[in-house]
Amino acid sequence: MERRQFMAGTGAALIGAGVGGTALAKAGAKTLAKTRAKTHAFGIQLWSVAKQLESDFDGTIAMLAGLGYRELEMFGPYSFSDPRQIASWQVTAKSLGFSGSGFYGRSTAQLNKLFRSHGLRVPSLHTDLFTLQTRMGELAAAAHALGATYVTLPSLPADHRQTFDDYKRAADMFNAIGRDAARHGVRFAYHNHGYGIVPVNGVRPLDTLLSATDPKSVFFELDTYWTIAGGADPKDFLTRYKGRYRMVHLKDMRGNHRFAGDGGGASDWIAMFPHLTYLGDGSLDMKGIIDVARHTGVEHFFVEQDRADDLMVALKGSAAFMQKLGYR
């Protein structure tokens, strides 16, 4: 059982101003580009508000934008996803208390209109292994329609990580998926969980995934919480593999806790959920992690709140923390 299966006007005037206006427009574009380069946006993985999206999609998106979130990472399955994943989701949804996913019945045109009205961007789409292997064309088309760069695998299925050799084969598989993604004009990324961090014969499987994959076509998304729970230091991974991590999931932890096992099963995850909290309310060096991430090539920061005693308090708290650091 995978974790998520378990868990419950100015520009127009310039353009119309003739030759002189064109020059001004170009100058304005350069200024805007410089401004954006200095302004670091932060976002949220929509899994954090999955139930709220199902009951009030437009209102939830407006709420997130109002809190200051500027980037969204979506999760599948989507209408075009591999039928096996759609069938699996239908079974899983019964235990989650909601069934909405992907675009929640909306077209990419409808999503674009809504997101743009709130100043929101979609850099990444989480998806599944089946869809990455069999539906890359459809997945990439959706990504292009939304302006997304990354198609991201949120977890490695259990049957692909039973042995160290499984991880070696996974690296080969990731290289193939990465090349296919590049052919379709998108980038493939893998999001780590806590498994693969405990050494096997002195070698961490996650190190194999990083070292045996092509840095030109396979990228990574670091999860702060699960990395810590697995017994590793996020700053160490970010530094040693500079340029490989392009996205980060930000989560804080109350106290200092580790998996009882290797982080590969539900019992390990269940034991860790009570310690999850919002940014700045826990004990992790979130500012330090974010600073290292920024200086080692990370492009996107997504808050992810798998659970919360009070979701609105958590969402507001994490947004306030990021804004205090200068992210807008």
Tokens read off for 308:
């919360």
pLDDT tens profile 107-147: 999 999 999 999 999 999 999 999 999 999 999 999 999 99
Tokens read off for 150:
């990354």
Measured distance between the N- and C-terminal CA atoms of the chain, rounded to whole angstroms: 37
Report d(CA 68, CA 319) in Å as an integer: 6
Predicted local confidence at residue 39, as pLDDT:
56
Number of helices followed by number of strands (H, E) in the chain: 16, 10
Report d(CA 140, CA 79) in Å as an integer: 13
Tokens read off for 65:
């934008």
Predicted local confidence at residue 201, as pLDDT:
87
CA atoms within 13 Å, Cβ hemisphere of 311: 14
Report d(CA 174, CA 152) in Å as an integer: 11
Report d(CA 272, CA 268) in Å as an integer: 7
Q: With bands split at pLDDT 50, 70 and 90, how would you rate the model's confidence at 2?
A: low
Tokens read off for 51:
């139930």
Predicted local confidence at residue 130, as pLDDT:
98
Predicted local confidence at residue 200, as pLDDT:
87
Report d(CA 8, CA 4) in Å as an integer: 8
Alpha helices in the chain (DSSP H): 3-6, 10-15, 18-38, 50-55, 57-67, 83-96, 108-117, 129-134, 136-146, 164-183, 205-211, 224-229, 234-240, 266-272, 286-295, 311-324
Report d(CA 171, CA 190) in Å as an integer: 11
User: Domains in the chain and their CATH numbers?
Assistant: 41-324 (3.20.20.150)
3-state secondary structure of 154: coil
pLDDT tens profile 257-315: 999 999 998 899 999 999 999 999 999 999 999 999 999 999 999 999 999 999 999 99
Q: Is the pLDDT at 165 greater than 50, yes or no?
A: yes
Q: Is the pLDDT at 170 greater than 80, yes or no?
A: yes
Q: Is the distance from CB of 177 to CB of 133 less than 8 angstroms?
A: yes
What letter would DSSP give residue 244?
Answer: T
How buried is residue 224: exposed, middle or buried, by Cβ count under 10 Å (0-12/13-18/19+)? buried
33 or 168, greater pLDDT: 168
Predicted local confidence at residue 40, as pLDDT:
86
Predicted local confidence at residue 35, as pLDDT:
37
pLDDT tens profile 4-51: 544 433 232 222 223 333 333 344 434 334 434 345 899 999 999 999
Predicted local confidence at residue 243, as pLDDT:
97
Predicted local confidence at residue 23, as pLDDT:
38
pLDDT tens profile 198-250: 998 899 999 999 999 999 999 999 999 999 999 999 999 999 999 999 999 99
Q: Give the C-alpha distances (Å, rounded to integers) separating 157 from 3, 54, 305.
A: 10, 26, 22
Give the residue among 129, 262, 256, 258 at the shortest CA–CA distance from 195. 262
Sign for the pseudo-dihedral over CA of 153, 159, 161, 165: negative
For the chain, give the number of residues: 328
Report d(CA 40, CA 36) in Å as an integer: 7
Strand-pair partners of 302:
43, 249
Report d(CA 66, CA 326) in Å as an integer: 17
